[in-house]
Structure 1
Amino acid sequence: MTLSFDDITWHRAVGQLIEALDKPNFWAQLVRLLDQYMPFDSWVALLFSSDQHPQVFAASPGVEGIPDALFEDYLRGVYLLDPFYIASREQSRSGLYRLWEVAPEHFEQTEYYQRYFRLNVVADEIQFNCQLEGDRTLCLSLGSKQRFSSEQIALLALIQPWVLALLRQRLPYETNETTAPASADWRVQLETSVQQLKGAQLTARELDVGRLMLSGCSSKEIARKLEISVETVKVHKKHMYSKLGIKSQSELFSIFLQAQNA
């Protein structure tokens, strides 16, 4: 078999990345290589786990080096509505995932999409997920101002084994340097904040229904995920709205944001 010039270039670049695994510029070198094959507009490397906030290892720089306020909101708690975070908790497997494969039915109608995703990521996102021990997922997300094409996704699927292997080998050089702040169970954290903000006490099930609503799940999807009936979902929603004194998901999202910043 004869190797093409592109094949040689790719394997040489992967070899250089292996050499850079313990170097500070590893992530920048990796995304520069990927960008040669499939252009994108933003990226972030982070670690998801069930009992901590996301741990960010590296990310594309903000405008003029200023931290992105929307991304700061994401790290404080908005990540709980991220379809990729939810999928990583529910599916727990390695692979390449596209936004429209993991997003709930009504994702584009959510306040999360309108207030965060559409402004921060813009149009489309794909994510390499490397599943680790301890219910952790090391992720490399690529965001774009336009939809990724089928050809681009196919190319990423082709190089996925190399990327996932590099992510796994990089992790030991990250965890020794950076620690993520411990976080209480999100239900306890949110319930405490809601009680302080609104004087309301929501049940664990009401919190589950509220979070899934905000993430874009229809009543049918919520019922399936929680293994309850659609009518029970509607009852929980009614009780939650009554306790909080609200009438819309927009108001619920505002309370959710306040709770994360409380």
Structure 2
Amino acid sequence: MNEIAELSRWNRDISRTIASLGEESFFPTLFETISTQVQIDYPQVWLYHRDLPPRILYHHIPSNAVSSQVDQYLDGPYREDPFYQTSMRGPKAKIYRLSRVALGDLEKTTYYRDYYHTTGTVDEAVYISRLGGGNVINLCMMRLPEKGPFTDAEYERLYLLADPVSELLKAHSQHHHFAVEHLIQPGINHQIDLAFKTFGASLLSPREKDVLELMLRGYSTDTSAGKLDIAVETVRRHRKNIYRKLDVSSQTDLFSLFINALSCLGEAAGDDPLKVYMAPR
């Protein structure tokens, strides 16, 4: 493809993406635009905040890979994710490659041993966009073995797209419905610790509540068992009971319920915000 034709395609694709700002089609349209430049696999968009569990805003992952890509990630390993850590430290760049953030030692890390090697991917690049209130969006692009790691030329192309992609993510986040539904607003941070301590208390036993708080704070089953001085199997049994009593089926559902219940903290006045959130309207 000659340069004029390639530029014409890029202008067409980026125009479609701009037109989708504020719409549900924004993330898939943005990934389609990126995919015309570089082949990517398992596209995902994550929203991070230092004091809250991560939220997945969008993904296009085969159903048989969701457990390893999303649920297992949320079950503690995200804290060791070099992209998450980079995001929480105040990233200077708008794009990072896994080999760079892992400093070439990925296979020696607990993150690789406990999680990454099960994902079936061989490389990852992430666009990072810093928003207000400590919120950070990560747009993740992976590669499967059959396509191989990103080449230097492909990464250079992704690098050239970093500025428009970052600005598009910021512009999308400023649309009212997105900000209301997803972003932590200034002034609520001091209430988050209260939410950890009260969420679910009206429905769970004291020990189940202890386990739930550690889950929400991102601790794995093994770490939770150590902190509570109980057996791993006991933690697993408590987790199963928590899912049943809160009517959720995954870590993703649990975290979403917790985030949604934050809006009821004020009305709960120190009590379980779930009582307010789940009350008949």
Tell me which of 138, 160, 163 is aligned to 1:161. 163
| Distance (Å, rounded) in 2 between the aligned partners of 1:19 and 1:6 | 20
For 1:96-115, list aligned pairs within 5 A: 96-104=95-103, 106-115=105-114
Deviations along 1:219-247, one digit per CA (max 9) or x if unpaired, are xxxxxxxxxxxxxxxxxxxxxxxxxxxxx
Q: Tell me the residue number matched to 1:194.
A: 226
Deviation at 1:159, TM superposition (A): 1.5
2:124/2:140 contact within 8 Å kept: yes
For 1:15-34, list aligned pairs within 5 A: 15-34=15-34
1:55/1:179 contact within 8 Å kept: no
2:68/2:118 contact within 8 Å kept: no
| Distance (Å, rounded) in 1 between the aligned partners of 2:158 and 2:104 | 25
Counterpart amino acid of residue 31 in structure 1: F
Across the aligned residues of Structure 1 and Structure 2, the Cα RMSD in angstroms comes to 3.3
Q: Secondary structure at the match of 1:32?
A: helix
Q: Tell me the matched-pair count.
A: 203
Deviation at 1:16, TM superposition (A): 1.3
Deviations along 1:116-138, one digit per CA (max 9) or x if unpaired, are 21221511000000112222211
Q: CA separation of 1:51/1:106 partners in 2, compared to 1, >3 Å: closer, same or farther?
A: same
Percent identity, aligned pairs only, is 20
| Distance (Å, rounded) in 1 between the aligned partners of 2:181 and 2:46 | 14
Deviation at 1:105, TM superposition (A): 5.4
2:52/2:216 contact within 8 Å kept: no
Q: CA separation of 1:121/1:95 partners in 2, compared to 1, >3 Å: closer, same or farther?
A: farther
Q: Secondary structure at the match of 1:44?
A: strand
Identify which of structures 1 and 2 has the higher relative contact order when contacts are C-alpha pairs closer than 8 Å and 6+ apart.
1
| Distance (Å, rounded) in 1 between the aligned partners of 2:15 and 2:55 | 27
Structure 2 unaligned residues grouped into runs of 5+: 185-191, 197-212, 241-281
Deviation at 1:94, TM superposition (A): 4.3
Q: Secondary structure at the match of 1:143?
A: strand
Deviations along 1:74-101, one digit per CA (max 9) or x if unpaired, are 1232200101001112243341100011
Deviations along 1:44-94, one digit per CA (max 9) or x if unpaired, are 111111001112110113336x84255212123220010100111224334
| Distance (Å, rounded) in 2 between the aligned partners of 1:171 and 1:196 | 39
Counterpart amino acid of residue 85 in structure 2: I
Instruction: Confirm or deny that 1:6 pairs with 2:38.
Output: no
Q: CA separation of 1:87/1:179 partners in 2, compared to 1, >3 Å: closer, same or farther?
A: closer
Q: CA separation of 1:134/1:116 partners in 2, compared to 1, >3 Å: closer, same or farther?
A: same
Q: Secondary structure at the match of 1:177?
A: helix
Deviation at 1:192, TM superposition (A): 6.3
Q: Tell me the residue number matched to 1:227.
A: none
Q: CA separation of 1:49/1:179 partners in 2, compared to 1, >3 Å: closer, same or farther?
A: closer
| Distance (Å, rounded) in 2 between the aligned partners of 1:153 and 1:100 | 12
Normalised to the residue count of structure 2, the TM-score between the two structures is: 0.62
2:47/2:55 contact within 8 Å kept: yes
Instruction: Confirm or deny that 1:59 pairs with 2:63.
Output: no
Tell me which of 159, 171, 194 is aligned to 2:173. 171
Q: CA separation of 1:149/1:132 partners in 2, compared to 1, >3 Å: closer, same or farther?
A: same
Deviation at 1:198, TM superposition (A): 4.5
| Distance (Å, rounded) in 2 between the aligned partners of 1:188 and 1:141 | 23
Counterpart amino acid of residue 50 in structure 2: S
| Distance (Å, rounded) in 1 between the aligned partners of 2:125 and 2:13 | 22
Q: CA separation of 1:70/1:20 partners in 2, compared to 1, >3 Å: closer, same or farther?
A: closer
Q: Tell me the residue number matched to 2:201.
A: none
Normalised to the residue count of structure 1, the TM-score between the two structures is: 0.66
1:18/1:166 contact within 8 Å kept: yes
For 1:1-262, list aligned pairs within 5 A: 4-63=4-63, 67-104=66-103, 106-120=105-119, 122-145=121-144, 146-173=148-175, 174-178=178-182, 184=196, 189=217, 190=219, 194-198=226-230
